Each structure stands twice: as C-alpha cells, then as structure tokens.
Amino acid sequence: MKLAVMSCIHGNYEALNAVLSDIDAQKADQIYCLGDLVGYGPHPNAVVEMIRSLDIPTCQGCWDEDIVEGLNACECSYPSQLAEKRGHLAHEWTNRAIHPEVREYLASLPMTLRQDNLCFVHGSPNSQHEYLLPSMDGFTALERVLSTEADVLFCGHTHVPYVRDLANGCLQVRVLHPDGVEREHQFSTPLKRIINVGSVGEPRHGRPNATYVLYDTDTAQVVLREVSYDYERTCADIIAKGLPLIFAWRLARGLEFAERADDPSHICQR
C-alpha cells in the first residue's frame, strides 16, 4: 500500500493543490496529514475545506492548537525577538480570518493517528510543539518512538524532511529500588524509524518548493517528493491579505517565516 504523508500546509492553498496533484500522479492509496493546516499563510479556511472535502485523516498541529487554545509558546518556538513579533502578528491575523466551523474542526483533530505499525504525529508523541530534530540525542529519539508502540513514527513541525533509522536499539536503565539496591535492566528493540515529511506550505530547506513523503507499507521504501508550484501567487496573496510582507520574501527563499528550532537537546515545556 502506498501512503502519501504531508504536513505543515500553513494556509498555502497553491502549494496544497500542487502536492495533491502530485500525489494523484503518484497513485497513492491513502493520504495522511500531520497538521498545521493554518497559520502564516493567506488561505487557512480554503486549506481546511480542501482537507475536509477529501476526508484526509489529519492530526492536530501546533498552529491548529494555538488557534483553538490561544498562544502559549515555549522558548524553543522562536529564534529571535523579531521572529516572535512576526509570529504573533500571523497568529492574530489567522485568528481573525478563521471561520467558526474551521476552528471547531481544528479543535476536533486528534493528537496522533495510527495505522498498523505506523504512528503519525505533528511534532512528537509528547506534544505538537516538540521538535524531533535529526540531530536529537539517540536515546531521546528512540524513547519517543517506543512510547508510541509503533515501528515507524511520521512527524513534521521542523519543516525540513529527513529519515532517521534507529537500528540496534539498546536501552540500559539503572533502577534504585526502595530496598537501596540498584539493579540494571537492558532492553533491545528492533529497528525503529523516524520519518519527517517536511512542509507543504512553509518550507525551510532553502527553496520555495513543497515537500511530502511517499511510503510503501510493503517494502518500507521512503520517497521524498519535492514539488514546485506557483509560489509567487502565494506571495502575492500574502501581501494582498495584509500578512507581514516579509513572509513573501522568506517564502520565495525557503526560509522560516518566524518559528525555528536550533537546539536538539531542548525539551519543549509546552
């Protein structure tokens, strides 16, 4: 079975359309979406309507949660004060633009989705806000996958796609028992894998193209797709809709609009 997994659309309707066309051409059997349907981009309602109309199983992203619950970012969200101001402007704009039924839909999204030995989350199984960076400590990465009881963990949130194999997983823990005796326990795990699918609507890999992933459940083959689209149209809409103009410049260069994580050792407090 061929799965298409996408994430982080961020109100970029042009990019979503291009990715859906590409998925169609690749003849995927099932699509999953890892959230962040809204935020930053100019068409949050249209994106949600499209996802709903196609009945794509979707989990809740951090922006989807923020639009429902309000902003409460951890310090890992923004690399600078300037970025934080821009992020807040985008949040205020989206909050005003979003339709009530769209907000209700975002509130109803689950944190995780499952299919057999696959688990789908936005950030990490702990939180939509936690970044699973590719350079994250191996123990922590393995713990995140094990906590889902799946073999493959699909995530987004970093906006930069990657595949990380956690082979020969071996966990050693030392437990101090109430009787004062310390005992060591060892667990070995079969191959686990983290697949980050990148971002459809707000790429951070230095190009404006959308990314998503095709996954073959029979062969475990991963194909990263990079899809070009008319990003200038999205840039024009960003400007026309009154979002911060700098978002258009940054989209054209594949740079983050505001949020970015740099520290792989940071544990999100959200």
Partner 1 sequence: MPHLIAISGPSGSGKTTWISQFLKAQSTPQFYVCPGLGEISVDLARIGYRFPWVQVIPEAQLKAVLADLPEQATVYFEWGFHLDLGSSFLAGLPCQRIAVLPPDLAQSEWHAWADQVVVGNPVAAPANGHLPEIWCTPLTGQVFDPPSLDALLIELTGGAYGQVQRMKGIFEMPSGQAFYVDFVEVLPGMEYTELNIPPWLGGRPSRFSGIEVVGWGLEQEAIAQTLIDGCLSDAALAQYHQHYQALDPTLDPVEEPLRV
How far is it, in rounded angstroms, from Cα 4 to Cα 198? 12
Report the interface residues with partner 1, using CB under 8 A: 79-83, 85-86, 245-246, 249, 253
What's the min distance (Å) between Cβ of 265 and partner 1? 18
Which residue, 82 or 171, is less far from partner 1 as judged by CB?
Answer: 82
Calculate the CA 174 to chain-centre distance: 34
Which residue, 215 or 231, is less far from partner 1 as judged by CB?
Answer: 231
Q: How many CB atoms lie within 10 A of CB 74?
A: 17
What's the min distance (Å) between Cβ of 36 and partner 1? 22
Place of tokens 């709903």: 52
**Which residues, in sequence order, are CB contacts of 194 under 8 Å at separation 6+?**
132, 141, 144, 145, 152, 153, 155, 162, 163, 164, 166
Which residue, 83 or 163, is less far from partner 1 as judged by CB?
Answer: 83
What's the min distance (Å) between Cβ of 12 and partner 1? 19
Please compute, for residue 101, the number of CA atoms within 13 A of its CA located in the half-sphere on the CB side.
5
How far is it, in rounded angstroms, from Cα 250 to Cα 200? 15
What's the min distance (Å) between Cβ of 263 and partner 1? 13
Which residue, 23 or 243, is less far from partner 1 as judged by CB?
Answer: 243
What's the min distance (Å) between Cβ of 130 and partner 1? 21
Closest CA to 256 of 202, 199, 211, 212: 202
Which residue, 47 or 248, is less far from partner 1 as judged by CB?
Answer: 248
